[in-house]
Amino acid sequence: MEPMDKELLDQVRKIFMRYGIKSVTMDDIARELKVSKKTLYKYVTDKPDLVMRVMEFECEEDCLIMDEESKKAINAIDELLSITSHMGKKIKEIHPSIHFDLEKYYPEAWEVFHRHKRGRVYMDVLNNMKRGMKEGLYRQDLNAEILTRIHISRIDLVFDGELFPPSLFDFGQVFVEMMTYHIHGIASEKGIAYLNEALKNTENHIKI
* Model confidence pLDDT, tens digit, residues 134-160: 999 999 999 999 999 999 999 888 888
Q: Is the pLDDT of residue 202 over 80?
A: no
Euclidean distance between CA atoms 196 and 113, whole angstroms? 33
Q: Is the pLDDT of residue 89 over 90?
A: no
Looking at every residue in the chain, the average pLDDT score rounds to 91
User: Which domains are seen in the chain, by residue range?
Assistant: 62-200 (1.10.357)
pLDDT at residue number 204: 47
Banded model confidence at residue 208, pLDDT cuts 50, 70, 90: very low
- State CA 117 to chain mean position distance: 9
Q: Is the dihedral of CA 187, 204, 80, 172 positive or negative?
A: positive
Euclidean distance between CA atoms 145 and 69, whole angstroms? 22
pLDDT at residue number 206: 54
| Measured CA distances, 119 to 99, 113, 207 (Å) | 19, 10, 27
* Model confidence pLDDT, tens digit, residues 24-54: 999 999 999 999 999 999 999 999 999 999 9
The radius of gyration of the chain's CA atoms, rounded to the nearest angstrom, is 19
Q: What is the DSSP string of the chain?
A: -PPPPHHHHHHHHHHHHHH-STT--HHHHHHHHTS-HHHHTTT-SSHHHHHHHHHHHHHHHHHHHHHHHHHH-SSHHHHHHHHHHHHHHHHHTS-TTHHHHHHHH-HHHHHHHHHHIIIIIHHHHHHHHHHHHHHTSB-TT--HHHHHHHHHHHGGGGG-TTTS-TTT--HHHHHHHHHHHHHHHHB-HHHHHHHHHHHHSTTTS---
